[in-house]
Amino acid sequence: VATTGQDIAAALASKKNNQTPLTIYVNGTITPDNSGTNQFDVKDMNNVSIIGVNGNALFDGIGINIVRANNVIVRNVTMRWVRIGQKDHISIDNNSRNIWIDHNEFYNSLDVGKDFYDELASGKGDIDKVTLSYNHFHDSWKTSLWGSGDGNNFHRRISYIGNYWERVNSRLPLFRFGEGHILNNYYVAVRESGINSRMGSQMRVEANHFEDSKNVLISMDSSTHGFWNAS
């Protein structure tokens, strides 16, 4: 059980070269000041779960960086206002597999400049089999990016199931290369653009609802279009 960021950092440090599965139950507010680090690295390890308990898990200004990791769960936490480390709430990179981001709340603020904060949940490089389910993404300019640039050419498979997107500007998600499944999501007050399929990505867009939203399904701002199958 972790009540401070130092507890989380110590638990992750103990997982290095340790094959025993690790579950960290977070019960408290986690800040840069009580963490002694600028991000939590789930790096070069397998079978790690970070799970909030009793509705008390708040990551306030510090995020999670998942790198070369397999079988990772982040569940039942709230994350906000991250401007240090990777600057994303959750960042996934470099040969990570089987990641589940479930029943979390992620938010920044629209009362700041577009580049003041970065993404809520994003991924790049050679990653695969990522599911984001039943999360609440809200009040964010840049929300969820997959593929850091038009040259970030990897066959990623990413699923979004049952998420609630509210008062968000763009990248819902922005998807380059690979395959995505966008199923049963609810979008409210999308300000600029919604699902953006680029660079040959293949998107299955199925049974979503959009309310008071602009440009909900597009391919724009890359040299090569992406594709979708909407039903």
Measured CA distances, 72 to 15, 29, 64, 127 (Å): 13, 21, 11, 13
Is position 167 annotated as part of the catalytic site?
A: no
The single residue of 75, 156, 171, 176 carrying the catalytic annotation is 171
DSSP state of 15: H
| 169 vs 138: CA distance, rounded Å | 9
Q: Which residues of 31-62 are buried (b: 16+ CB within 10 A; e: fewer)?
A: ebebbeebbbbbbebbbbbbbbeeeebbbbbb
DSSP lists the bridge partners of residue 75 as 51, 102
| Residue numbers annotated as active site | 171
